[in-house]
Amino acid sequence: MRFLLVAVGGAVGAALRYLIDRAVQARHDSVFPWGTFAANVTGSMILGALTGAALAGAAPESVQLLLGTGLCGALTTYSTFSYETLGLAESGARFLAAVNVVASVVAGLGAVFLGMTLAQAAFF
C-alpha cells in the first residue's frame, strides 16, 4: 500500500511539474528557467505545510507518503535545476546561473519555512 501511495503521488507530481513548467515558461520570453523555479518553490511550500501538519499530528503517514514522498518528490526537481543552471553557465549567462542558484535556495527555504509556519499556526 505504501508503494502505491508514493507511486500515485509521484504520477500526479510529475504531471503537475510539467504543467507548471509549460504554463510559466509560456508567459516568459527569457532564458531563465522560471518554470522549474516555480515548480520547486511550490513543492517546497507544500512540503513545508505537510511537515508542519505532521509535527502537529494532523497528517497521518499515508498523507505524508502520498504528498511528501510522492507528489513533492516528483514535483520538485534537483536534476532539472542543475541541468538548466549548467546550461545557463555554458551559454554565457553566468550571472543568470548564479541568480538561479541563489534565488532557488533562498526561495525554496523561505517557502518551506512559510508553509511550515502556516500549518503550525493552523494546527496548534
Q: How far apart are CA 64 and CA 48, in angstroms?
A: 11
Own/partner long-range contacts of 35-39 (Cβ < 8 Å, ≥24 apart): 36/77, 36/80, 36/81, 36/84, 37/100, 37/103, 37/104, 37/107, 39/75, 39/76, 39/77
Query: Cell 502537529 appears where?
Result: 56
Q: Is 80 annotated as a binding residue?
A: no
Phi, psi of 91, rounded to the nearest 5 degrees: -85, 0
Q: Is 73 annotated as a binding residue?
A: yes
Sign of torsion, CA 56 61 66 68? positive
Q: Can you say which residues are annotated as belonging to the binding site?
A: 73, 76
Q: Can you say which residues are annotated as belonging to the binding site for Na(+)?
A: 73, 76
